[in-house]
Amino acid sequence: MLGFLTARQAGVDDPLRLRRAESTRRVLSLKLNPDRDVDRVHGNGINTIDIDAVEGRYMLSGGADGVIVIYDLENYSRKQQYSCKAVCTVGRSSRYVHKFSVETVQWYPYDTGMFVSSSFDKTMKVWDSETLKPAEVFEFEGNVYSHHLSPIARKHSLIAVGTKDPKIQLCDLKSGSRIHVLQGHRSEILSVRWSPRYDHILATASADSKVKVWDVRQASGSLFTLDQHNGDKSKASSEAVNTAHNGRVNGLCFTGDGLYLLTTGTDDRMRLWNSATGENTLVNYGKVCNESRKRLQFTVSRGCSPEFVFVPCGSSVAVYALHTGELVTTLRGHYNNVDCCEFHPDYQELYSGGKDCNILAWVPVPRASDVEEESKSANQAAADQSSVNPAFQDAWSSDED
């Protein structure tokens, strides 16, 4: 570590190198911390969580009973022990609450004044976070499995919605119109995802084992379909031509830079694809247990090298290295199936929610303090109990001193 700091100081190393090294070290040491807790508000399983992209301060969670909760993740108390409080809830008593389970929630990418939630009651609601009332309700004909707003779009504000219908609907937030439809799949759409690199590229995964990548500006069909055998027709039986998996595809995730796309399927496999060409990179992750009949929310780390994939596997979260496919570790702590996980890129923390109604925060293990520091802090702690971290101490002094 000191070597990295000196190299950075001397200008031998790029500043990014130190940051990446430290982020990777932190991700490799993720553990459950007794000091960090998330308020338990849900009475039923948690289906989806989302952390806002602007500040990384608020977290949304949607539950199987239709309840939506907003948590504050920042720790402004000066204590080590912190429990993320629920700021507000759309509970069962609210007039506008979803009737059935909430499947996807997402913050509006530019500020936390608005969020969108979609549910099995065949509606998608756009909520005002201040008043907790829906500003707009979109109704559909089948269960809504997944929706996604593009995190980088400036020219459009389309929400891609995947429902039981094989057609993907694009709902416009500005005008409320839903006439733009993408046709091509043959079965229900389990997951949709916009690319974080281009605002017109959309990837969709369906129960017919296919994953299609679309350019929404084009009038014709999809750009390409992902093929697990890379066009080598000899490897598979003839029904499995042009499929991404040998079963339903229920999870999609782009890497942070948008260059690669990860897909998971009920054939217990996870595949890494080059998002520009649609080529299967043939990284072998082994058996990634997947029994979900709905969308699986998994996530990729950002800012580390090598990048890590966090996949919910049964009642634990498996961590794989992105490009080599090796299983780095398994995070065990939930009492029941884990349904969703989300990575906080600024603090390298992982939040996971599952059927046991808990959201667990996996926090990097803090560095062990040196022997000298320990004795000094022991003296300080005796004198001054509240200040644990000298960074929080008020060191301001007025000019007249």
Partner 1 sequence: MNRKRALISDAFKVKKIRNETQKFGAVSEGDGPTDIRSTLETLMKLFPRKLFNDTLPQIVVKHQLYSIHNDKTLVDKELNKLREQGELLMFQLGFDADAFGLVFASDYKAKVLAGEDGRTTRATVEKFLEKLPSPCTELSFSKDKMLRELHFTDSEITQLVKSGVLTVRDAGSWWLSIPNSGKFTKYFIQGRKAVLGMVKKSKYSEVLKTELEERRTTSLVKFHMKYHIHDIVGAEMVESISTTSGTLLRFVDS
Residue 91 in contact with partner 1, rule: CB under 8 A: no
Name the residue nearer to partner 1 (CB basis): 104 or 250: 250
Q: Among 78, 287, 293, 376, which residue interacts with partner 1 (rule: CB under 8 A)?
A: 287
Residue 325 in contact with partner 1, rule: CB under 8 A: yes
Residue 306 in contact with partner 1, rule: CB under 8 A: yes
Name the residue nearer to partner 1 (CB basis): 184 or 256: 256
Name the residue nearer to partner 1 (CB basis): 199 or 267: 267
Contact indicator for 340, 315 with CB cutoff of 8 Å = no
Minimum separation from the CB atom of position 240 to partner 1 (A): 8
Question: If we measure between CA atoms, which residue out of 162, 157, 105 comes closest to residue 134?
Answer: 105
Both tokens assigned to 91: 């509970």
Query: Does an H or E element contain 25, and which?
Result: helix 15-28
How many helices and strands (H and E) does the chain possess? Answer: 3, 28
Name the residue nearer to partner 1 (CB basis): 83 or 246: 246
Name the residue nearer to partner 1 (CB basis): 17 or 200: 17
Name the residue nearer to partner 1 (CB basis): 162 or 251: 251
The span of 13-21, 40-48, 70-78, 205-213 binding partner 1 (CB under 8 A) equals: 13-21
Name the residue nearer to partner 1 (CB basis): 29 or 242: 29
Q: Which residues pair with 58 in a beta bridge?
A: 72
Q: Among 71, 138, 285, 298, which residue interacts with partner 1 (rule: CB under 8 A)?
A: 285
218-257 binders of partner 1 (CB under 8 A): 232-238, 240, 246
Q: Among 8, 13, 25, 153, which residue interacts with partner 1 (rule: CB under 8 A)?
A: 25
* Long-range pairs for 62-66: beta carbons < 8 A, 24 or more residues apart: 62/101, 62/102, 62/103, 62/104, 62/105, 62/117, 62/119, 63/101, 63/102, 63/357, 64/101, 64/102, 64/355, 65/92, 65/101, 66/92, 66/97, 66/98, 66/99, 66/100, 66/101, 66/102, 66/119, 66/121
The span of 98-106, 197-205, 325-333, 383-391 binding partner 1 (CB under 8 A) equals: 325-333
Per-position x/- string for 349-368, each x denoting binding to partner 1 as judged by CB under 8 A, each - no binding:
--------------------
DSSP state of 152: S
The span of 18-26, 73-81, 144-152, 382-390 binding partner 1 (CB under 8 A) equals: 18-26
Residue 289 in contact with partner 1, rule: CB under 8 A: yes
* Helices marked H in 314-366: none
Which of left, alpha, beta for 286 (phi over 0: left; psi -120 to 50: alpha)? left
Collect all residues with Cβ–Cβ distance below 8 Å to 249 and sequence separation of at least 6: 190, 191, 205, 206, 207, 209, 210, 211, 263, 264, 265
Place of tokens 């093929």: 227
Question: If we measure between CA atoms, which residue out of 199, 193, 202, 225 comes closest to residue 212?
Answer: 225
Minimum separation from the CB atom of position 196 to partner 1 (A): 22
Name the residue nearer to partner 1 (CB basis): 186 or 287: 287
Give the footprint of partner 1 on this chain (CB under 8 A). 1, 3-4, 17, 20-21, 24-25, 28-29, 232-238, 240, 246, 267-268, 282-287, 289, 305-306, 324-326, 329
